[in-house]
Amino acid sequence: MSLRTSSRIALSALEKKRFLDCITRFRKSRVLVVGDFILDQFIWGTVDRISPEAPVPVVLVNRESYMPGGALNVANNIHSLGGKVYPCGVLGRDLQGRMLVKVMRSNGIETGGVLSDASRPTSLKTRIIAHSQQVVRFDRENNSEIPAEKTRKIVQFVRERIQEADVLVIEDYGKGLIQPEMLKALVRIARKHKKPVLVDPKEKHFPFYKGVTLITPNRKEAYGGYLNGAAGAAKPAIEEVGRGLLKKLQCDAVLITLGEDGMALFEKSGKITKIPTAAREVYDVSGAGDTVIAVLALALAAGARMPDASILANLAAGIVVGKLGTANVTPDELRQAVEAAGRKN
């Protein structure tokens, strides 16, 4: 089966109404988010000379800003779109951890799932931005597995909150939180209560995700997860990769994000849908995957079918990559993107 595709997203008046109604229902959606908590730091400046010490630009710093990253960026997107979110993850007992909790509280995001661990730092990603261009990024983190005591508390938190939620999101940044036994326990809990499980995956952890409802890898992650390190004479087509991941992970759907080529949705029914990119200008892809899974979760919780949820997620990603830094999407921005989508011929 070949991919259904078009050069642009084209929605009829009836489809637009359906999408707009779905966005309105976001405020009734409730999402549990489990994953790696990260603080995103942005250092903004200008460059007008090269260092005399080495062939590198000298950035004159103008300002700094901080945003919730990782699983907390997913939570922030859900909150900014009107949904109720219950994030769960681990922070260090440090300044960065306190900053994240303060931001969560100021944004009205629940902090009952925040666990602290004095033995590890809060993950910090620092990006240097000069003239709207990322110059370099450096990370400070501890990627070792979190202690068993913390994983038990995470499982218990999900067990206590799962009935309040419509969807469970697993945001795996590979920082030590997502582990096989914990993930199996979370999937069992969600299945018992008939809640879908969406995963933003890490390539090396693909074997962990068996039995989830949906995964959202990018192209590189999808090929890596499918091939599992095997070297072939020829690179397989994306159709083979998507169908192969469906079979391998026994999930209901695989949504592969393809950058400038949009997205490809593979469903267990055999249906394959290609969604063209919605981005007009790309300034920064930081956090775009977080926005995709946040909107998918909200749309599915609001009763959307998988293809509709994927189109909305694609429209949201097109908005966020047009912004600098880790950014969120508002309901009004998403409504405008739906209204701007061309009509079908």
pLDDT at 281: 56
Bridge-partner residues for 130, per DSSP? 45, 133
CB atoms near residue 339 (< 10 Å): 11
Residue at 322 is within a domain: yes
What CATH code is carried by the domain that includes residue 102?
Answer: 3.40.1190.20
Q: pLDDT in tens for each of the 345 residues of the chain? A: 333 333 467 788 899 999 999 999 999 999 999 999 999 999 999 999 999 999 999 999 999 999 899 999 999 999 999 999 999 999 999 999 999 999 899 988 999 999 999 999 999 999 999 988 889 999 999 999 999 999 999 999 999 999 999 999 999 999 999 999 999 999 999 999 999 999 999 988 999 999 999 999 999 999 999 988 666 557 899 999 999 999 999 999 999 999 888 899 999 999 999 998 765 555 445 568 899 999 999 999 999 999 999 999 999 988 888 776 567 889 999 999 999 886 443
DSSP assigned state of 261: G
pLDDT at 131: 87
The rounded distance, in Å, linking the Cα atoms of 184 and 269 is 24
DSSP codes, 73-99: HHHHHHHHTT-EEEEEEEEESSHHHHH
Residue at 56 is within a domain: no
Residue at 135 is within a domain: no
- On whether the CB atoms of residues 290 and 74 are closer than 8 A, the answer is yes
Residue at 2 is within a domain: no
Helix, strand, or coil here: 199? strand
pLDDT at 276: 86
Domain that holds residue 103: 13-38+70-123+143-340
- On whether the CB atoms of residues 301 and 190 are closer than 8 A, the answer is no
Residue at 53 is within a domain: no
Residue at 1 is within a domain: no
State the distance between the two ends of the chain, measured CA to CA, in whole angstroms.
24
pLDDT at 287: 65
The rounded distance, in Å, linking the Cα atoms of 133 and 283 is 8
The rounded distance, in Å, linking the Cα atoms of 116 and 150 is 9
Residue at 8 is within a domain: no
Tokens at 89, concatenated: 């993850």
Count: domains in the chain:
1
Strand pairing category for 253-257 and 263-267: antiparallel
pLDDT at 227: 87
The rounded distance, in Å, linking the Cα atoms of 265 and 242 is 8
Tokens at 45, concatenated: 């400046």
- Catalytic-residue membership of 290: yes
Residue at 317 is within a domain: yes
Which of 40, 117, 252, 290 is catalytic? The answer is 290
